[in-house]
Structure 1
Amino acid sequence: MNYILFLKAFLAKYKGIKDNQLLFQYLREELQYLILYVLYTGTRYPVYFMGGTKLRLSYGINRFSEDIDLALDKPDLDFPAKQFLENIASAFSEKVTGFSLKSNLNTNRNVIKLMFSFSKVLFDAGLSPLPGQTVKIKLELDKNPPDFASYERKTYRSMAGDYMIGTYDLATGFAGKIAAVLFREYQKGRDYYDLQWYLQYKPAIGINLKYMNANSVQQGKNTFENEKEVLAAVIEKVKKLDLLLLRQDLERFVVMDARSFGEWVENYIPQTLNLLQTH
């Protein structure tokens, strides 16, 4: 696929939407699909898709997401970060052409961070008067993932074509989201939105307790004997939730009218506590 075809397909698919902010979210989402298409059809790294963007693209969760979160199938602190970036860039130039794309690399002991910056596309889509304004998408790869993750395969449909992708299964994703709620050093509203989604999912999702405890050990925290202990810890976090911060983090990501969103925020704590207590 080339850039012109991508742009035409995007404009045709979303022609009925007049809200530019919503169009921007869909544009970023289509670029996320494209990056994953390149990664999974143009390279052969043992990486698995996880996190909130995975919920959006795999299950249609009713909020948008910014980043692409991946994990290796097993810890490898010597994973070649520079080669990883170079191979993705090379695959991108072969699989999809004509994009104005820049990328940069930042890495630490446990995580590789790649930033992809797409220029021109906002201008050409009529979403910005500035040709140089960019859409930035961060890709993070965990080189040291907790043990005991379980996986599933999904078919994704990008504007460049269909492809198979390896992702964390729901029980592992649920455990990972709970770990984020319990151990993240700051409150992130999107964690709590996703938490409620997991709790409402039918049939009910169990927690991958082995993965949860491996995550806890990595964070220097105590392990859990059973799911009941995990949920009890989450209940205490939800009771202390700052609703203003929840609203501020989520308002540009959720697909909800202002009134419905306000009601959802106001009811979040009692509704989620009930879900936790009856899960």
Structure 2
Amino acid sequence: MANIHPHIEAMLNRYDLKKDDPFEVLREILQEIVLYALSDAGFFKYAVFYGGTALRILYNLPRYSEDLDFSLIEPNDEFDLSRYEKNILSHLNNYGFEAIIETKIKEHSAVQSAFVKGNTVKHLIAINTPEDIVNKYPSTKQLKIKFEVDTNPPVDFKEEEKLHLVPMPFQIRTMSISSLYAGKMHAVLCRGWQSRPKGRDWYDLVWYVKNGYELDMTHLQARLKQSCKAFEDNIGDISEKKVLELLNKRIEELDIKMAKDDVSRFIYDQRELELWSKEFFKAIASMIKFNVFTIKY
């Protein structure tokens, strides 16, 4: 049996490794260690946490999530994500996880990306995963956590501090739930699908509506203004009605089966997807709550 750090043992007690996907459990634990390392290094003085993993970790979204997404508080083209790598690797090592970080250079992009990579089998053994489960994974399988920082973000968002207790108590600076909602709506309206719609976006949209959150139209406006092909030819006012028209257009274009396939491996109960259809999402759209009636584009 591996000698587990007591903080990791406490984190593992939240899961049942015979029921929960051990690969996703492992990734989630590593995500939280990375967040702790970033907080410890002062990263959240300059950036906020947002996206699906923020919903999962801070608001108990009932699905697993892959990436860590961040936005600077203010645009800064001189921001250097690599300055935090040493602290991330040090914290992971302190908790018994060996990893490397690979930086991905994107020319002519305001988004800085890096990947934390480690050996899945070694890490599963490190958290005392039962042998029959470990044996299901090839010895060469890598666990990857991508984290990205938008260095030129639309800045019209609300923010707040959230206390997170594992692996050690620390503060995370994040967007408000209403601004997070706006980011998700931007993804639903504007993400390029090619042939693979991201069902996780639609799952999260249902979650926001189910929980009665209001959509931050000010931040949505800023995001649409900065980047969205669907709005390139739209000038003047964009009302709630216009947003809903474009949302319903996206629903008509949505391949429901492919959307289900995308999200199914991230959720516990597949029955959550049974009602998914174009009619279902149109009904969801009609329930969206807006916190501003009209926005200027």
Both proteins in one fold, TM over 0.5: yes
Alignment partner for residue 168 of structure 2, among 146, 161, 172?
161
Structure 1 residue matching 2:22: 3-state secondary structure: helix
Alignment partner for residue 274 of structure 2, among 263, 271, 275?
263
Cα RMSD over matched residues?
Answer: 2.4
Q: Aligned in 2, Cα 1:58/1:47: closer, same or farther, shift over 3 Å?
A: same
Is the 1:47–1:72 contact (alpha carbons within 8 Å) kept by the matching residues of 2? yes
Is the 1:176–1:212 contact (alpha carbons within 8 Å) kept by the matching residues of 2? yes
Q: TM-score, normalised by structure 1?
A: 0.85
Q: Which residue of 2 aligns with 1:138?
A: 146
Q: Aligned in 2, Cα 1:133/1:181: closer, same or farther, shift over 3 Å?
A: same
Is the 1:64–1:254 contact (alpha carbons within 8 Å) kept by the matching residues of 2? yes
Instruction: For 1:242 and 1:40, locate their aligned partners in 2 and report how far apart those are by CA, in whole Å.
Output: 39
Instruction: For 1:175 and 1:11, locate their aligned partners in 2 and report how far apart those are by CA, in whole Å.
Output: 32
User: Offset of 1:191 from its aligned partner?
Assistant: 0.7
Instruction: For 1:131 and 1:11, locate their aligned partners in 2 and report how far apart those are by CA, in whole Å.
Output: 22
The structure richer in helix per residue is: 1
- 1:275 aligned to 2:292? no
Structure 1 residue matching 2:275: 3-state secondary structure: helix
User: Offset of 1:226 from its aligned partner?
Assistant: 2.8
Amino acid at match of 1:270: E
Amino acid at match of 1:194: D
Structure 2 residue matching 1:161: 3-state secondary structure: coil
Structure 2 residue matching 1:79: 3-state secondary structure: coil
Is the 1:47–1:166 contact (alpha carbons within 8 Å) kept by the matching residues of 2? yes
Q: Which residue of 2 aligns with 1:75?
A: 75
Q: Deviations over 1:44-74 (max 9, x none)?
A: 4411110111111111112110111111111
Q: Aligned in 2, Cα 1:241/1:28: closer, same or farther, shift over 3 Å?
A: same
Q: Where do 1:61-210 residues align within 5 Å? A: 61-90=61-90, 96-108=94-106, 109-119=109-119, 120-124=122-126, 125-126=129-130, 127-129=133-135, 133-158=141-166, 160-186=167-193, 187-202=197-212, 204-205=213-214, 207-210=215-218
Q: TM-score, normalised by structure 2?
A: 0.81
Q: Which residue of 2 aligns with 1:242?
A: 255
Q: Which residue of 1 aligns with 2:21?
A: 22
Structure 2 residue matching 1:166: 3-state secondary structure: strand
Q: Aligned in 2, Cα 1:69/1:3: closer, same or farther, shift over 3 Å?
A: farther
